[in-house]
Amino acid sequence: MTQPELEALAADAYVYGYPLVAGLTMVDRFTRGGLGTLPAAGFNHFSHATRLAGPGDHFVSVNNDTIYSIAQLDLSEGPLVLDVADAAGAYYVLQFIDAWTANTAYLGRRATGTGEQTWLIVPPDWHGTPPDPARVIELPTTVGTIVGRFACAGPEDLPRVRALQAGLTLRPLEPGGLVAGLPEPDPDVPERLAFFERLRVWMRAFPPSAPDIEYQRRFAPLGLLDEGASPYRAAAEQWTFALVKGLAAGRERVEDATRPAEEHPLGEWRGALHLFDYNSDHLGPGTLDDPEWRIPDRRAAYLSRAAAARAGLWGNHAYEASYAMTYDDADGRPLSGAHRYTLHFDQPPPAEAFWSVTMYALPDYYLVENPIDRYSIGDRTPGLVYGADGSLTVTLQHEQPEDATAAANWLPTPAGEFRPIIRIYQPEPAVLDGSYQVPPIVRVD
């Protein structure tokens, strides 16, 4: 194989394998050190956040709507029993994600209702008998993740959420086993080839669906199918150069896929309704097994999967929660706290659960510290003033407004540039078919 062919193949391997490496790196980090408001927890144990995120939580575009409960799963010793408490109609979702970052099942208000539930989570090709009355979720890989999100209206709502978290339990169907965890990549591989070593070890431990295994075979010249000792420890210089150059090209391809189109209508809110539609093989409870929510071209799906892992790891399908963002006002000018703006909704966004607009400061996309401790605004925000026709005008500016109505509907901005995100939980059909458009932000000073 020629040098350019090796480089092109290495770029393809990066796009294909980035989600596995990024996702399992996060799994490992989570079990060892936790994540923000979530303390570390070993495999098969939930970690529960105890408060909504605030400006001190330095994570990109963290939401201020829900409290997280996350568990890393290891089914190497057999199935797990999951118990879920009765949420009494309140919104929550438990999202099941395999090692390749595919969303394989959902439980919760939209998917399975909010009553008390018992489920059995089983490894690939399990042939046992589930206990009555448990229902079954098959995880395509022995390691995976549950991301739980519980709607929380504010500090006064925390006791209710904590009670639901306490009722969220995992236990082995047959106690006494020891989990295998993540296999360790060779620590002596040079850092510039560490990505390929992680990919080699982890894709062997967590094989994907049959069509993807067939695709993987083309990566044999890169050493990714080698068993035993790592081929990257003392690799030939020219071969190493080709892999490193291909990795850089693959990384750039993924970064390009996360950037918005340069040509777009002025003030447009840009979403990605089908970014998470790359899973066509393992669609369990709560997923929509419909051509509308599948990317038919596998090569295109690999790139979408990589872009999703890069820009929104462990994000939901749009039919569970839809997101959109904007950087510009209605005249195409960058949004800045040096100016005053309004966001006028003739009618509330079409959400079956709830909606919110959250404010983030650039360049880090962190929540914005402000004197009223308001980081998002939406249909659950107390004290909003609506028009007689049901309309709502949100005020976006840095200083507190003097007008009483504008102050009641104020979403504080930073002094500098900002980016808001609108989230619509359980979006109605008008959101999903694209006929609903979020109104542009209008500069008023």
Rounded to two decimals, the pTM is 0.93
124 in the same domain as 74: yes
CATH number (domain holding residue 382): 2.60.120.1600
The answer to whether position 427 is within a domain reads yes
In the numeric block, which tokens belong to residue 311?
């820009």
76 in the same domain as 10: no
Share of the chain above pLDDT 90, in %: 90
pLDDT band at 206 (very low <50, low <70, confident <90, very high): very high
Annotate 227-243 with b (16+ C-beta within 10 A) or e (fewer): eeebbbeebeeebbebb
In the numeric block, which tokens belong to residue 158?
């925390």
The answer to whether position 102 is within a domain reads yes
419 in the same domain as 330: yes
- Give me the mean pLDDT over the 271-292 stretch: 95
| pLDDT of 394 higher than 80 | yes
167 in the same domain as 104: yes
| pLDDT of 37 higher than 90 | no
Structural domain of 111: 44-172
161 in the same domain as 54: yes
133 in the same domain as 221: no
154 in the same domain as 59: yes
Model confidence pLDDT, tens digit, residues 160-205: 999 999 999 999 999 988 899 999 999 999 999 999 999 999 999 9
Question: Between residues 155 and 397, which one has the greater pLDDT?
Answer: 397
The answer to whether position 197 is within a domain reads yes
Q: What does pLDDT average to over the chain?
A: 95
pLDDT band at 229 (very low <50, low <70, confident <90, very high): very high
Share of the chain above pLDDT 70, in %: 100
The answer to whether position 313 is within a domain reads no
Overall domain count for the chain: 3
Model confidence pLDDT, tens digit, residues 104-163: 999 999 999 999 999 999 999 999 988 888 899 999 999 999 999 999 998 999 999 999
The answer to whether position 203 is within a domain reads yes
58 in the same domain as 160: yes
Output the pLDDT for position 95: 98
Output the pLDDT for position 272: 86
Look at residues 149, 172, 195 and tell me which one is the last residue of a structural domain. Answer: 172
129 in the same domain as 196: no
The answer to whether position 394 is within a domain reads yes
Question: Shortest CA distance to 199 belongs to which of 182, 178, 175?
Answer: 182
The answer to whether position 321 is within a domain reads no
Look at residues 144, 172, 200 and tell me which one is the last residue of a structural domain. Answer: 172
- Give me the mean pLDDT over the 267-286 stretch: 95
190 in the same domain as 152: no
Question: Between residues 6 and 258, which one has the greater pLDDT?
Answer: 6
> Among 92-96, 132-136, 244-248, 339-343, where is mean pLDDT lowest?
132-136
Output the pLDDT for position 337: 97
Output the pLDDT for position 133: 80
pLDDT band at 330 (very low <50, low <70, confident <90, very high): very high
The answer to whether position 295 is within a domain reads no
| pLDDT of 58 higher than 80 | no
Look at residues 206, 233, 258 and tell me which one is the last residue of a structural domain. Answer: 258
Distance CA 169, CA 336 (A): 45
Q: Is the peptide bond before 155 cis (omega within 30 degrees of 0)?
A: no
- Give me the mean pLDDT over the 290-306 stretch: 96
| pLDDT of 260 higher than 90 | no
- Give me the mean pLDDT over the 415-431 stretch: 97
| pLDDT of 52 higher than 80 | yes
Output the pLDDT for position 93: 98
152 in the same domain as 113: yes
CATH number (domain holding residue 66): 2.60.40.1610
Output the pLDDT for position 263: 79
433 in the same domain as 350: yes
